[in-house]
Structure 1
Amino acid sequence: MKNWHLALMGLAATAIFTIANGAELDQATKEDITRHRAMAQAHENAAKCLESGKSDAVCEKQLQVECKGLGIGKFCGMKHVH
């Protein structure tokens, strides 16, 4: 009985590992991942812009250009407090 349980647990672990690491992503998910990465890059560029000493208005305008078509609204899908 113990060997059967061990075998079953091993099979379950293998199945979970295979599903977690080998699952093929659908096209919509791949596109969503690409958009998230593009938005993250645009926000990183905005942070670097601010670090360079440029004004918030200049950096926000740059962010809006880089995020056009990616996020919802004029804040690239993200708004926070200043």
Structure 2
Amino acid sequence: MKRKLQLLTGIGCLCLCFLSCSQPPYKNPALSPEERANDLVDRLTLEEKAALMQNTSPAIPRLGIKTYDWWNEALHGVG
């Protein structure tokens, strides 16, 4: 009986390990770009979505989004 409990515990730990190591869908290159984008947008909060639409987008570390500056100038050519 004790051996079965140890075996079940070991199998449970392996299952948890595999689940925690899997990538979220937005990082899975096997999915289509639309599926990945929809998953990523669904994970963003309303505040994060609004912040990403600004000229200087802040980083969102929990999703792996880096800071980005969208500025360009069309008057003298795209800078």
Q: TM-score, normalised by structure 2?
A: 0.38
Q: Which has the larger radius of gyration?
A: 1
Q: TM-score, normalised by structure 1?
A: 0.37
Higher helix share: 1
Larger RCO (CA within 8 A; separation ≥ 6): 1
